[in-house]
A and B are shown apart, each in its own frame.
Chain A
Amino acid sequence: MIRIHYLEKEYDNGFLALNGINLHIAKDEFVYLVGSSGAGKSTLLKLLFSVEKPTSGDVFIDSVSLKTLPSKQIPYLRRNIGVIFQDFKLLPRRTVFENVAFALQVMHYQRYRIRKQVTQVLELVGLQEKMSNFPSELSGGEQQRICIARAIVNNPPILLADEPTGSLDPDTSWEIMQLLSKINARRTTVIVATHDKGIVDDIRKRVVALENGRIIRDSELGSYN
């Protein structure tokens, strides 16, 4: 599903955020991406999502090279990848419902299907009561859950989660991780960048550890450290 090939990413200011990354992730895998602050986790996810282009090397998603993907194709790539952003990226002037619905509107879903799927997913993350609130009227954890809802509402074949439980209490975190596992069980590739030692150690999955832009460990059913 995802093949990363000698990937290198140097930012405009010359900072080398990723350095010689090689990684294969199969369709039904669930991968934790761990590493200290600034290790390059978000950068790697950004490359998978085509927010940044590789400096050298390449990323292949379903055999499509992101390096040569024409920019016109990017929206269609993105519709196949749900992303839980570390900084949420909610539309400030849209309600909770509209924020989640937007991901379906861009794909020209019918109105009634949008209403049905959005309501469902908001119930799943426990935000049905905040449906018509604006993001600024929500708590940090609630905002994070909208972002989760938006990422999974259209059942994308790939799900990238960048610190999906950073603003959530342990119980809610646990529920969200169970949800991601369930989604993974439906043959969705899931990659979770996280600092949550408790969760990584409890829900054992493949762990890829980054440090200074390099992979320093890649273990099946591994632990945080």
Chain B
Amino acid sequence: MSEEKAKLKMISDIDAEAHIRRAIEAILMVAIDPVPPSIFAQLFEVQVDEIERICNSMVDHYTEAELGFSLIRIAGGYRFQSNPEQAQWVERFILEGQSRRLTAAAMETLAIVAYKQPISRAQVSAIRGVDVEGVMRNLQQRGLIDEVSRDTGPGNAVLYGTTQEFLERMGIDSVAGLPPLGEFVPGPEVVEALERSLRVVADEVTIPATEEG
């Protein structure tokens, strides 16, 4: 009887562990930086050493599986990364397979950081209207932007700025050497659209004719 109970408990433990493993796999797959076990411990409400035990067994498991990537412990956390044996392919992919030009999104993000530095990622997101995490990460990896300070406000957000390398590439001494933004003069289509948005509250019926008719 008690043996059966113990067995049941074990099964449910295994079950719980399998759940945690899958959640850890999911998080590690999308995490940008190595994830410290303490974060998992907090998330799953489990002891840190229990997390470490699970993660270490996962490390072994991925090593044995002989995939093109592995799970490793690095910089106080865990992360998936490509296997050193595959380095030549990764290198060739970087040199041949990736686009050599900045995408429009990356260009806008870089420009915002350049002109508005120091600036937090959230602020850049707010300006661009989209999440910029991946793009900022890319720019940082390319050495064009970097963390420069922390916001003194609540949350102490990381603030980003452009790097020395960026200045050199642009051929300028400092960001003051960037062409001035000048006063923003919105194009006629923007004016028109803004105007339209005001019409709702306008009492008067004096509305200019629009092309759309």
- Report whether chain A binds chain B: no
Interface residues of B, Cβ cutoff 8 Å to A: none
Interface residues of A, Cβ cutoff 8 Å to B: none
